[in-house]
Amino acid sequence: RDPEGLGHTYDGIAEIYHNQGDYPKAMECLHKALELAEQNGNRGTVCRATGNMGIIYYQMGEYDKAIECYQRTAVLAREMGDAETTVAAIGNIGLIYEERSEFAKSMEYARQYLTLARQLGNLQMESYATCNIGAIYFEMDDYVNALPCFERYHQISRQMADKQGLILANDNLGTMYLN
């Protein structure tokens, strides 16, 4: 018996259930993958399964549980030296606080996300963080500060030839000018 392989299998099956929208079955598989990974000391799978659980909790509207998962993911990823996963988890926590209209906390995490993305030199993550900060300002009706964020997001998206980013950036800018 290969517990590590079985854990990866459960993780893969969870992804299929998640993509089908069957969150309870996806969570069941992720819990099994997590249990096997913890028993075998496979921190990478623990980190991945925990992060995936955060995604599903978020989509189910269970924000406190999602935050717990992302916080654990950030800690594990940091300990393993996985900077991109650490940064992504921090960004996801910020999105949850934005969803809950807790703008001060959301901004705190979004700024951490931006700082870390820049330290990594990850332009894609920097663009997301910049857009997130603009969205928070927009939600707070602070259009003066939102506009330069959306303009920067547009600039980065153009620089990276990110067509989806350009579409969202143009949509954000258009909405700004309507307000």
Average pLDDT, the chain: 95
The answer, yes or no, to whether residue 5 has pLDDT greater than 90, is: no
| DSSP codes joined into one string, 110-158 | HHHHHHHHHHHT-HHHHHHHHHHHHHHHHHTT-HHHHHHHHHHHHHHHH
Q: How much of the chain exceeds pLDDT 70, in percent?
A: 99
> For 155-171, what is each residue's pLDDT tens digit?
999 999 999 999 999 99
The answer, yes or no, to whether residue 3 has pLDDT greater than 80, is: no
Of the chain, the end-to-end C-alpha distance in Å amounts to 61
Instruction: Give the dihedral of Cα atoms 141, 96, 62, 88; nearest 10 deg.
Output: 160
pLDDT band at 132, cuts 50/70/90? Answer: very high
Between the CA of residue 65 and those of 20, 30, 61, 96, 171, what are the distances in Å? Answer: 21, 14, 9, 11, 31
Q: If you count DSSP H runs as helices and E runs as strands, how many of each does the chain have, helices first?
A: 9, 0
pLDDT band at 46, cuts 50/70/90? Answer: very high
pLDDT of residue 37: 92
pLDDT band at 87, cuts 50/70/90? Answer: very high
Average pLDDT value for residue range 33-47? 92
Quote the pTM value: 0.91
